[in-house]
Amino acid sequence: MTSSQPIHITFLNSEDVSRLALTDDEILTAVEDALRAQGNRQTVIEPRVHLVPEDSAKGHFNVLRGVVKPLGLAGVKVVGDFVNNFERGLPSEMAVLNLFDPETGMPRAILDATAITDMRTGAITALGAKHLARRNSRTLGHIGARGTAYWNVRLLDHLFDFDEIRVHSRRPESREAFAARLSADLGKKIIVTTDWETCVRGADIVVEASRLPKPQPMLKTDWIKRGALVVPYGTMSAVELSLTDIMDKVVVDDWGQCRKGLPFGALRQHVESDRLTEENLHAELGQIVAGLKPGRESDAETNLFWHRGLSLSDIALGHALLTKAAAQGVGQSLRFI
């Protein structure tokens, strides 16, 4: 049985998303509000699932699902993550976000979520640093130059205005292009390093967003200075098991996506070996944002923030884009029924 009145859904393609140009503050505010809702138990987050066509080291799909009750939206995002896409002139990550009415199941919108994925990852990284890094952090060391890396650095610098930004990635052409883009957009010098240690050692904030084919301890624990924040989120672990031993606080985005028995993730072996458990975990970031758990409490703390990717942040940015699109008349209306 169908409705007597036509029902339409909104479609935003990549050009629409680019034209709407969410500001840094709009991105951070939308994602932080969603984290607050999570902390206050006003969200539903289902652990991501994976579809591996052939070899996970070559590429796979992630499927993220959630509900953000204050926004009145449910969402399902499918994102492909294929490491060699650069050889075809394609982004390594491409995504589609589907938004629904959680009361009826009626589709509300379809959005190109490639840029959303990059922006929301950068926002989570930056908001983790807002609550867990030293306020006077001056040096950033960033490993990795994939799509999400740009927004990590851009939004972190928006909050901290670093004196020194170091970047490294495996391919020289990739790291040089990454640094050139950042330098042009941020208006400051970017230091390109040829090895991990030079990038990481002594940095106030360390972000590890590498693309390893298999787990390999590339980031050494003794490079991390006292009082730093480390944010590892590579699909394959690049850290040593000893990394959590030096941490005063370990925070995650969602424990349900970090618990035992799930594949991938920077701290996967730490969880499987009981070095990180629900009992010794300090908090989920949403609990800190909501004021239920403390964030950084002293400059001496050495902290770690591990994020797997939150469906709620995709939904929050989808909502922000739809709101702005409606005000500016951007996007297409597609008849559904």
Give CA–CA dist 237/217, Å, rounded: 7
The encoded tokens of residue 15 equal 């050009």
Phi-psi region at 136: left, alpha or beta (left = phi > 0; alpha = psi -120 to 50): alpha
pLDDT digits (tens, 9 = 90+) for 211-223: 888 889 999 999 9
Which structural domain, as residue segments, surrounds residue 65?
8-116+312-335
Alpha carbons 211 and 183: distance in angstroms, whole number: 23
**How many Cβ atoms from other residues are within 10 Å of residue 282's Cβ?**
19
1 belongs to a structural domain: no
pLDDT value for 27: 98
Amino acid at 250: V
Domain of 60, CATH number, reads 3.30.1780.10
Distance, CA of 115 to CA of 111 (rounded, Å): 10
CATH of the domain at 142: 3.40.50.720
Instruction: Tell me how many domains the chain contains.
Output: 2
State whether 201 and 302 are in the same domain: yes
The answer on 100 and 241 residing in a single domain is no
Q: How far apart are CA 33 and CA 222, in angstroms?
A: 36
Query: What letter represents residue 55's amino acid?
Result: D
- Is 3 a member of any domain? no
Q: What are φ and ψ of residue 238, in 5° steps?
A: -120, 10
pLDDT in tens, 232-267: 988 888 999 999 999 999 999 999 888 887 777 889
| pLDDT of 3 | 55
Q: Which two tokens stand for residue 175?
A: 């790291």
Question: Which stretch of DSSP H or E encloses residue 12?
Answer: strand 8-12
The tens-digit pLDDT sequence of the chain (337 residues) is: 455 789 999 999 999 999 999 999 999 999 999 999 999 999 999 988 889 998 877 888 999 999 999 999 999 999 998 888 888 998 888 999 999 999 999 999 999 999 999 999 999 999 999 999 999 999 999 999 987 899 999 999 999 999 999 999 999 999 999 999 999 999 999 999 999 999 999 999 999 999 888 889 999 999 999 999 999 988 888 999 999 999 999 999 999 888 887 777 889 999 999 999 999 999 999 999 999 999 999 999 999 999 988 899 999 999 999 999 999 999 999 999 8
pLDDT at position 212? 86
Q: Flag whether 2 is in a domain.
A: no
78 in the same domain as 154 = no
First to last CA, the chain: 10
Identify residue 139 by its one-letter amino acid code.
T
Helix/strand/coil (H/E/C) assignment for every residue in 178-215: HHHHHHHHHCCCCEECCCHHHHHCCCCEEEECCCCCCC
Q: Are residues 52 and 161 in the same domain?
A: no
Tokens of 285: 């970031």
CA distances from 291 to 20, 48, 131, 294 (A): 32, 26, 11, 7
Question: What is the reported pTM?
Answer: 0.92
- Whether 192 and 215 have beta carbons less than 8 Å apart is answered as no
